[in-house]
């Protein structure tokens, strides 16, 4: 007597646990992500302007590696930068031109631009 008839029945895959797992992942990623707009810095490329620039209102700021800066050709520490820039703004300087040193990295540029924008300049330009 043969107990196995040779026909093998196919088992169906139950998708209910899979759907539950996908739903839990969806909820997790929705809760873990942030929907806030990150702080942005508006950058005007030098040359994107439409008219002549008044050089007497400009400040030249060199951003160098490792948090070093030069304002108007003079070396300024990271701590002195904000007070020096505010002093120049009080003298009537309204435009900042930021020059990135060739060995500086993007983090140096972002830090420098953030400090310059917080100082209160009307226009900030980045040149290469």
The pLDDT of residue 36 is: 65
The class (CATH top level) of 44-127 is: alpha beta
Report domain extents, the chain: 44-127
Tokens of 59: 């400040």
The pLDDT of residue 3 is: 64
The pLDDT of residue 20 is: 92
0.85 exceeded by pTM: no
**Packed helices 106-119 and 81-90: angle between N→C axes, nearest 10 degrees:** 40
The CA radius of gyration of the chain, in Å to the nearest whole number, is: 30
Tokens of 80: 């002195």
The pLDDT of residue 40 is: 63
pLDDT, one tens digit for every residue, the chain (128 residues): 566 666 677 777 788 888 999 999 999 988 888 766 666 656 656 555 555 667 778 888 888 888 889 988 888 888 888 888 888 888 888 888 888 888 888 888 888 888 888 888 888 888 87
Measured CA to CA, the distance from residue 74 to residue 81 in angstroms comes to 11
Backbone φ and ψ of 85, nearest 5°: -70, -40
The pLDDT of residue 111 is: 85
């Amino acid at each position: 007597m043969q107990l196995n008839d040779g026909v093998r029945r196919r088992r169906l895959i139950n998708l209910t646990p899979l759907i539950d797992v996908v739903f839990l992942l969806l909820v997790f990623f929705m809760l873990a992500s942030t929907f806030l707009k990150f702080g942005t810095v508006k950058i005007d490329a030098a040359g994107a302007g439409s008219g002549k620039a008044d050089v007497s209102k400009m400040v030249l700021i060199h951003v160098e590696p490792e948090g070093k800066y030069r304002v108007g050709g003079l070396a300024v520490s990271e701590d002195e930068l904000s007070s020096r820039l505010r002093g120049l703004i009080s003298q009537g300087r309204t435009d900042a031109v930021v020059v990135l040193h060739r060995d500086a990295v993007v983090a140096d540029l972002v830090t420098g631009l953030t400090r310059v924008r917080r100082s209160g300049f009307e226009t900030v330009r980045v040149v290469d």
